[in-house]
Structure 1
Amino acid sequence: MTNVIRFTLTAALTFFSLQAWSGFFDSSPSGVSASKSRFMPVEEAFRLDADLTGERVNLTWEIEPGHYLYRSRFSVRILEPENTVIGELLTPDGIQTMDEFRGEVEIYRNRVDIAVPLKLSEAELHQGVVLEVQFQGCADAGLCYPPHRQLLSLVP
């Protein structure tokens, strides 16, 4: 019986001392390891700004260095007013690259501007629109963010 108690006590002390020292050599003051803290939240890595001018929504992403957005992974859906028709997204040509996650793709770095043509009445335009924008990008350091949805409420 004493061998079982001795083994349990030794195992518990070893486990708790490993837990206590696990963050000791991390460079961050909070004890969060560098591998967990090196990636930005998606809305910081890809800052989206939008404005509604006439029958068009202009979307602008400021893309942090070391990050990129996929040209093929943008979509826009109008939530309000419901009967608004969206034209084809007007996207500029991207940079052709071989992506480790998706193969041969076009990407954007630094900044991208996309126009979204809308068909809506003058009264609807003055009330504004609510839209859902979806996009996806990656960090060069090896993280591919999941598709991200952002809701925007715009008035002219």
Structure 2
Amino acid sequence: MSFQVFDREKIEGALLHSSRGLELARRYFPRSIQVWGNDNPIPAQLFKEQPNLCCAVCGTNLLEKPDKGIISLWQKMRDRGPREHDAFEQIHFTCFGHCDEVLKTRLRGSRLIDGWEDIQDISIPTVYIRWIMSVLNSYALV
């Protein structure tokens, strides 16, 4: 015969980590759940709807699969290569692999050259800030 011992931590975990448990706690422990809610606020909902970042080729939401997407930055190709401070002509978000190759094929005839970053890498706040600052600093030198 198997059994479980429910101590206060296990009961609290069952109540406070599911919507049905929170509903039950609000009904029977209204003062306690109010104090708990003040100490454990929910994350702010910044957008009315869930954000979406679609692949420029196939339309896949890249925020649902950040390890599969890239940001490609396109500059004009110069006879002696791109200058360090040339502005970006186009920026595209695509799936890595097939969609990226389709976009490259489309844009290569436009005399553009690409650079890229993984979406997963720049979804880390410190990496994103470092990346943005490096772009801004390169233009500050012009």
Which of the five TM-score ranges fits, normalised by the shorter chain?
under 0.3
Normalised by the length of structure 1, the TM-score is 0.21
Higher relative contact order (Cα pairs below 8 Å, separated by 6+ residues): 1
Normalised by the length of structure 2, the TM-score is 0.23
Higher strand share: 1
Higher helix share: 2
